[in-house]
Structure 1
Amino acid sequence: MAEAHENGSRPLDDWPSPYYLENGLRRVAPYHFTYNTWCKERWRGRRLIDVFESEFRDRPLAYYKNAMETGKICVNGKPAGPDHILRNGELVSHTIHRHEPPVAADPIQILHEDEDIYVINKPSGIPVHPAGRYNFNSVIEIMKAQRSPDWIAYTCNRLDRLTSGIMFVAKTPKAADRLSIQIKQRSVRKEYIARVIGNFPDGEVVCNQPLLQISPKLGLNRVRANGKTARTVFKKLAYYPPCESRQKQDEKTPLALGEAPEEKVRSWARKEGYSIVRCLPVTGRTHQIRVHLQHLGHPIQNDPIYANQRVWGINLGYNDPDALENTDEDIITRLNRMGKEEVADAVAYHDEMVDEYYKRKAEKMSGELCDVCDTPLYTDPGLQELTLWLHSLRYEDAGGDWCYTSPLPGWALPPSGMLGPTEVGGMEELVSAVKDVNPKIS
C-alpha cells in the first residue's frame, strides 16, 4: 500500500481524463498532484519521517527525507522537516510528480442498469476507488471519464484490486444506502468462484477459522485464535488433472537456481492439477476466501500473497504449520521485498520453463529515475500482477426478489481438449450451510 489520499486535488482540467492504451495496458501520463491527509490518531506524537517510513511503500525512505528537507512535504501549509512531531488536527500535504501504474485495458462491462444502479463486471487488476498509487486508473474514475466530470458514483460493495466480478454502483445516495443495508444485514447472498491448487475435497467444506489482520500496510491476514470470527462455505465445481505432456517436459527440466530437489517434487500445481471451487463467504473479512483456502491447503493458484513459496515455504501456509518458524515478522519481511527486489512468484508462475520470462516481465524497481522528479521508476506489471483467479460470480436477494450473475471468467472454463462445466447452477444446494451460521457473527 502506498499513500492514501483523502482530499487530493484533481491534477488536470481537461476532459476526459488522459488515458491511452498501449501493449494491452491502460496508461496515464505522469502529472503533478498534491495529497492532503489529516493527521490520523496513530500518527499523533510521532516524527513525520517515522510515519512516512511505516505507512507508505511507494518510494524509498531517502526520497521522503529529501522531500521534507526541500519543502515538498508540508504540515498546515508550511514546510516541515523530518523531525516534526505530528499533532491532532494537522494537515499533511505532499506534492509529487505522480506516476500511476498501468492497469489492464479490459472494459468495465455493464451487466444491468436501471434508474437506481449499475451492476458491473469489474475487471481484475483495477482498484475500485482512487487509493495509493492509483487515481485515474480506478473503476470509478474510468466510469466517470466515460460519462461526465459531474458524474458521481456511490459504490455499495467493494472488491480488492485483483479480484474481478460483480459490483453495484448506485446512482443516488438513497439507492446506495438501501442496497448497502441489505448487504450488511445479510439479506443478500454472494458467491465467488476460485481456481485453486490440487483436487479440492468433494462435498461441502466449511471453514470457520478466525482471521487477524497482521499488516495493514501489506494487506496481510492470517488465521489466529484471537482473530475475528469468519466463516466460508466451499464446494468443488470441477477438477482438472495435470497435463501429462507438461509433466514429462518438467521432469527433463533442470532445477532452478537455489531450488532444492524436494521443492521440485512438490512444485507445482500442474503436477496436482487444479480445481474450480464455489465460495460463499458468510462473513466479510478482508482476504477471507484467500486465507481460508490457504489454510485448507488449496490456495488460489496465482495468489501473489498466499500462494507465494518464497514467502510461506514449501507448504504454502497449509494449516499454518510453521506459525512458530514463519513468524509474522518473517512473512512481512519477505512480502515487503515483492515488487521491489523480487517479483511476485505465485505457484502458477513457478515453472522453470517460463521463470525467466516472468522475471523480465514483472513490476519491480527498474533502477531508472524520472527525468522530471528523480523518482525511482517501476517496470510494467506482468500478467501475474494484474490477475487473481478469484471472481465475484453472483449476488442475490435471499427473498428471491433479484439475482445478478456474471459469466464465468475464462480461467474457470474447461481447458482445451477437456470437458467440464461452463456455467454454475443456483445457490440452493449451499444455502443450508449458510443458514446454520450463528446469527451473532458480525
Structure 2
Amino acid sequence: MEKEATVNEKNYYSRLDTFIRKNYPEIKLGAIYSLIRKGFVKVNEKRVKKNNYILEIGDIVKIILDEDKLEELSRPAQPSLKARPVSFDIIYEDKDLLVINKPAKVSVHPGSKEEMATIIEGVIHYSRGEFEPHLVHRLDKLTSGVMVVAKNKQTARELTELIKSRETKKYYLTLLVGNLNKKSGELVSMVYGKAARLKYNLKKKFDLFGDKYSLVEIELYTGRKHQIRVQFADLGFPIAGDDNHGDKKRNKLLRKNYGLKRIFLHASKISFDYNNHHYDFSAPLSEDLQIVLDKLEKSTKRN
C-alpha cells in the first residue's frame, strides 16, 4: 500500500518528518520517525532515511507499507489496560480460545473517556495472569451476545485472518420496526463508503394495534461499523431502540410500554474451522431482550 503526496505551496514544510506529520496527522509521531529510519519513505522514488531531509516544491513523497501495519501505526495510543472485574457468562474455553456471552452496555475496549470496566479488562481479571487475551472481533457497547477472545498472539493472528478472509459465519437477532414482507432476502449496499452485505430470514411478526415489528435472523458477511443498523434503516425498517437511525417516537413507546432500554441487537451465533476443528458457538438471547419479546407476544395475542 502507498500513501503519496506531491509537495506544493499549500502543503509545504521543509523537513520530511514535519511534512509527513502535518499532511498525515493520523500517523503517530514516533511511527513517522520509525518509517523514515527503516526506509519505508521515498522522495522522488529514492528511499530517504533522514528525518531532517529538506524537501522542495514538486517533490513526490511516498510512504510504502503493508495496509494492516500502517493502520496499526496510525491508531491512537490505547489507554493502559487494567484487571477489573466484569460479569459475563463463559460459553467455551480451551488453551487457545475463550468464548463469552457479552452483556449489553459494556464496551469491549477502553476509550479515551471510558470509565467503566470493559470486556478486555474483565477477561484480564478472569485470566489471573495465566494467559494474555486478545480481541479478534468487536461488538458495539449496546450489543449483547457471543464473542471470541484469543488466549495467545498466534491464535489471535490466525483468527483475525479467518475473519478478514470471511471464513467465519456470524449471526445476529434483531427486531425491526415495520412489517417486513419478504421471508428472506439479501442486502448489498455501501455503508460509509464501503461495500456491505448481509442475508436475513424473518422469524416472527408482531402486530400491536397497527404498530408492526419483525424479528429477523441475520447472517453478516461483512463487518462494517453499524452495518446492520444502516442497511435496514436505509431499507425503511430501522432496528427497534436505535435512536440514531430509527424512529425515536416508536422507541419511546417501546421503552415505556415494553421495557426496551437499548438497541434490540444480539450476536446469536458464530462458527468457523480452526486447527482441524469445526466450532459452533451460540449465546441465548439476553434476558432484557427476551422480556421485551414476551411482552410483545402477549400484546399481539390480545390484539
TM-score range, shorter chain: 0.5 to 0.7
2:189 paired with 1:228:
no
Task: Go from structure 1 to structure 2 and tell me whether the alpha carbon gap of 1:191 and 1:155 turns closer, same or farther (over 3 Å shift).
Answer: same
Q: 1:407 aligns with which of 268, 284, 299?
A: 284
Task: Go from structure 1 to structure 2 and tell me whether the alpha carbon gap of 1:354 and 1:276 turns closer, same or farther (over 3 Å shift).
Answer: closer
For normalisation by structure 1, the TM-score amounts to 0.44
What SS does the corresponding residue of 1:293 show, helix, strand or coil?
helix
> What displacement does 1:143 show?
2.5
> What displacement does 1:123 show?
0.6
Which aligned pairs between 1:282-293 and structure 2 lie closer than 5 A? 282-293=221-232
Q: Report which of the two structures shows the higher radius of gyration computed on alpha carbons.
A: 2
Task: Go from structure 1 to structure 2 and tell me whether the alpha carbon gap of 1:417 and 1:391 turns closer, same or farther (over 3 Å shift).
Answer: closer
2:16 paired with 1:141:
no
Corresponding letter in the other structure for 1:272: D
Q: Which residue of 1 aligns with 2:155?
A: 175
Task: Go from structure 1 to structure 2 and tell me whether the alpha carbon gap of 1:396 and 1:301 turns closer, same or farther (over 3 Å shift).
Answer: same
Q: Which residue of 1 aligns with 2:207?
A: 241
2:263 paired with 1:388:
yes
Distance of 1:106 and 1:193 partners within structure 2: 24
Q: 1:124 aligns with which of 104, 111, 130?
A: 104
Corresponding letter in the other structure for 1:349: K
Q: 2:272 aligns with which of 385, 388, 397?
A: 397
Task: Go from structure 1 to structure 2 and tell me whether the alpha carbon gap of 1:106 and 1:273 turns closer, same or farther (over 3 Å shift).
Answer: farther
Q: Which residue of 2 aligns with 1:201?
A: 181
Q: How many residue pairs get matched?
A: 219
> What displacement does 1:175 show?
1.3
For residues 34-72 of structure 1, what are the alpha-carbon distances to aligned partners after superposition, in whole Å with 9 as ceiling and x for unaligned? xxxx9993379xxxxxxxxxxxxxxxxxxxxxxxxxxxx
What SS does the corresponding residue of 1:273 show, helix, strand or coil?
strand
Task: Go from structure 1 to structure 2 and tell me whether the alpha carbon gap of 1:412 and 1:195 turns closer, same or farther (over 3 Å shift).
Answer: farther
What SS does the corresponding residue of 1:176 show, helix, strand or coil?
helix
> What displacement does 1:412 show?
4.7
Aligned-residue CA RMSD in angstroms?
3.4
Which aligned pairs between 1:27-42 and structure 2 lie closer than 5 A? 41-42=24-25
Distance of 1:170 and 1:416 partners within structure 2: 37
Distance of 1:111 and 1:238 partners within structure 2: 26
What SS does the corresponding residue of 1:229 show, helix, strand or coil?
strand
Q: Work out whether residues 124 and 388 of structure 1, in 8 Å CA contact, stay in contact via their aligned partners in 2.
A: no
Corresponding letter in the other structure for 1:273: K
> What displacement does 1:230 show?
1.1
What is the aligned-residue identity percentage?
Answer: 28
2:167 paired with 1:187:
yes
> What displacement does 1:207 show?
1.2
Q: Which residue of 2 aligns with 1:102?
A: none
Task: Go from structure 1 to structure 2 and tell me whether the alpha carbon gap of 1:133 and 1:205 turns closer, same or farther (over 3 Å shift).
Answer: same
Q: Work out whether residues 136 and 142 of structure 1, in 8 Å CA contact, stay in contact via their aligned partners in 2.
A: no
For residues 387-414 of structure 1, what are the alpha-carbon distances to aligned partners after superposition, in whole Å with 9 as ceiling and x for unaligned? 3211111111279812111112342574
Q: Which residue of 1 aligns with 2:217?
A: 278
Distance of 1:163 and 1:390 partners within structure 2: 6
Corresponding letter in the other structure for 2:268: L
Q: Work out whether residues 145 and 285 of structure 2, in 8 Å CA contact, stay in contact via their aligned partners in 1.
A: no
> What displacement does 1:231 show?
1.0
> What displacement does 1:287 show?
0.7
Corresponding letter in the other structure for 2:113: R
Corresponding letter in the other structure for 1:174: Q
What SS does the corresponding residue of 2:114 show, helix, strand or coil?
coil
Corresponding letter in the other structure for 2:224: R
What SS does the corresponding residue of 2:146 show, helix, strand or coil?
strand
Corresponding letter in the other structure for 1:395: I
Segments of structure 2 that go 5 or more residues without pairing to the other structure are: 1-20, 28-75, 78-84, 299-303
The structure where strand makes up a greater share of residues is 2
Distance of 1:189 and 1:133 partners within structure 2: 32
For normalisation by structure 2, the TM-score amounts to 0.63
Q: 2:142 aligns with which of 153, 162, 182?
A: 162
Task: Go from structure 1 to structure 2 and tell me whether the alpha carbon gap of 1:192 and 1:297 turns closer, same or farther (over 3 Å shift).
Answer: same
Corresponding letter in the other structure for 2:108: V
Corresponding letter in the other structure for 1:205: G
What SS does the corresponding residue of 2:195 show, helix, strand or coil?
coil
What SS does the corresponding residue of 2:202 show, helix, strand or coil?
strand
Distance of 2:253 and 2:112 partners within structure 1: 28
Corresponding letter in the other structure for 1:293: F
Corresponding letter in the other structure for 1:210: M
> What displacement does 1:295 show?
0.9
For residues 341-375 of structure 1, what are the alpha-carbon distances to aligned partners after superposition, in whole Å with 9 as ceiling and x for unaligned? xxxxx732247x959xxxxxxxxxxxxxxxxxxxx
> What displacement does 1:229 show?
1.2
Q: Work out whether residues 270 and 280 of structure 2, in 8 Å CA contact, stay in contact via their aligned partners in 1.
A: yes
Q: Which residue of 2 aligns with 1:296?
A: 235
Segments of structure 1 that go 5 or more residues without pairing to the other structure are: 1-37, 45-91, 94-104, 213-226, 245-270, 310-345, 356-381, 420-442
